[in-house]
Structure 1
Amino acid sequence: MDQDKVLALFDRQMRYEAKPDEPGARVERVGDVVRQVAPADGWNGVLWSDLDEGRADAAIAEQVRFYAASGLEVEWKAYSHDRPADLPARLTAAGFVAEETETLLVAETAVLPVDAAPPDGIRLLPVTDEAHVRLVEEVHDRAFDGGRSSIGHQLRQQLAQDPQTVPAVVALHGDEPVSAARLELHPGTDFASLWGGGTVPAWRGRGIYRSLVAFRVRIAVARGFSYVQVDASSYSRPILERLGFVALGTTTPYVRQPSGQDAARNSSTLATKDSASSSQG
């Protein structure tokens, strides 16, 4: 894989030319910044920027004013190759708080294994209706110490937009949901992406996560996507790299509360990556 070429393709298709990720949201290109504006329960933030030392502070201040005027929390999704090099320090100075740094992993679907079966006693259920969404929410409640994430909101939005899609998969032991993970297909791009993985503690380390990756990759292959992308935690990165994913850099969410104070975020971040708990599946 030509890493520089694929990173440039990712920047163009998934960031600069990004489409809204839910009904009611819009993507705006304002000067050197691409941002999403969504309802309060959606994702609001900066997807792409191309700044230099002379323009960065003014662009950051503009986004702070814009989102603060609407009373919205804003996330600036910064990548390690973004300019200027001191963008993280400038965001921090403007009241943004850094969250966990994740690794941008990409793999060609043609080289990924798609035949990893779940362990004995586990069956995989495609998520296609409200009852299945509630199973995924139950997994997240148990996997993340009772903190329900926004994954249910994301899944309901995906199903409402395309009732024929399979936006997630849940792993069951009998009737007990023990792991789940989400998939996004990005029409008009070469990329599918994996999000929101979670495995309940008692079921980690048994190979469930690898089977969930294979399940989602099979869908991406069937739909004609050339690449799969993951924002990986430090725990899931080694597993994904063994499967064929390549690190193209890192990404760090910088979050600013409406008040400008460093309030703690809720568990909605759990739905925005294949997380630490999922990686142990």
Structure 2
Amino acid sequence: MSPESRRLFEAYVHDQQDLPLPGYALEALPHLRRHIPLGAAADHEALLCFARLSPGEELAQIQAQIDFFQARGQDFEWKVYALDQPTDLKQMLESQGFRASDPEVFMTYSLRGASRPARALPAGVEIRRLSRPEQLDDILQVQAQIWGRDFEWLRAKLASSLEQPEAISLFCAYADGQAIASGWTDYPASSRFAELHGGAVLPAWRGRGVFSALLDVRIRDAAQRGYEWLAVDAAPMSHPILLAQGFTPVCMTWPLRRSHTPICAE
């Protein structure tokens, strides 16, 4: 791993690790960060990230998290970066019954001096900034069509973010009034990194510049807000496009999950 990749990752961790997620309580443990869902989202997965496990105590610290969530009867995701400590954390978790989902590439893009001219869109296509909760239907429908699963769980998070326009920008591309692509950017306070999410285009419209145009809009928006970098977990489909657009690969990242065994009351 290059020194520049390590530097970017450490800067990202420094800025992000103590920022709470909407709807979650942040617990800053000495060796990782734990996000516990609250309120209406209490039955959602918890999240562990930014691990710096203690040498020689890794398996005990992993087991402590398994025990914690098993006692709560709660599922959780452990988000692993290839630059976490230890560097073989993914393999350690897999040895303890965790299963990794498809890998993504953590990438960054420098916004210093970024200049993105408006890109021509196919006839009949336009990109709109969304600002009202009822418009979220379009984003959720696009995501559901692309990934083949329900995204209703995302509505509350996005609606909550819309109440703070400084925290998010949502965009949707339309062809003759029908939503065909979506993407949004989170703007964490006190961070140099804005985060891209949800960039996706319906199959019939891929390869026609819609994804890149949606990316350009979000790059310009982030630069205007004064952020220094964009960060994104790039899926295999997005990775080559982002690479061609000037994004820098930093490291691989995986979501790992382990189903808990419910504790039966006597």
Does residue 1:56 correspond to 2:58, yes or no?
A: yes
Gap regions ≥5 residues in structure 2: none
Residue 13 of structure 1 deviates from its aligned partner by 1.2
Which residue of 2 is the match for residue 20 of structure 1? 20
Q: 1:107 maps to which residue?
A: 109
Q: In the alignment, which residue of structure 2 is the partner of 1:131?
A: 134
Read off the aligned partner of 1:207 and give its amino acid letter: G
What does the per-residue CA deviation read over 1:47-106, in whole Å, with 9 as the maximum and x for residues that have no partner?
Answer: 211124411111111111222222221111111112223211221122211011111100
CA distances 1:198-225 after superposition (whole Å, capped 9, x unpaired)? 2112111111111111111122111110
1:223 counterpart = 2:225: yes
Aligned partner (choices 73, 76, 79) of residue 77 of structure 1: 79
Alignment of 1:224-263 (within 5 A): 224-259=226-261
Confirm or deny: 8 A CA contact 1:35 1:46 kept in the other structure.
Answer: yes
**2:170 maps to what in 1?**
168
The 3-state SS of whatever aligns with 2:191 is coil
Matched position secondary structure for 1:183: strand
Q: d(CA) in 1 for partners of 2:160 and 2:45? A: 12
1:44 and 1:111 map into 2 onto residues whose CA distance is 38
Query: Could you say which structure has the larger radius of gyration?
Result: 2
One-letter amino acid of the structure 2 residue matched with residue 242 of structure 1 = A
How many Å separate the matches in 2 of 1:152 and 1:202? 25
Equivalent position of 1:156 in the other structure: 159
Deviates more, 1:177-186 or 1:149-158: 149-158
Report the counterpart of residue 125 of structure 2 in structure 1.
122
- Measured in 2, the distance between the counterparts of 1:163 and 1:10 equals 23
Would you identify which runs of 4 or more consecutive aligned residues in structure 1 move more than 4 Å? 163-166
Letter in 2 for 1:139: V
Q: Is the 8 A contact 1:140 1:149 kept in 2?
A: no
Q: Does the 8 Å CA contact 1:139/1:179 hold for their aligned counterparts?
A: yes
Identity, in percent, stands at 25
What is the Cα deviation at residue 186 of structure 1? Answer: 1.1
For the residues of structure 2 that align with 1:246 and 1:111, how far apart are their CA atoms?
16
- Map of 1:265 onto structure 2: none
The separation in 2 between residues aligned to 1:204 and 1:149, in whole angstroms, is 24
Q: What is the total number of aligned residue pairs between the two structures?
A: 256
Specify the alignment match of 1:30 in structure 2: 29
Deviation at 1:190, TM superposition (A): 0.3
Are the structure 2 counterparts of residues 96 and 171 from structure 1 closer, same or farther at C-alpha, using a change threshold of 3 Å? same
Name the stretch that deviates more: 226-235 or 84-93.
84-93
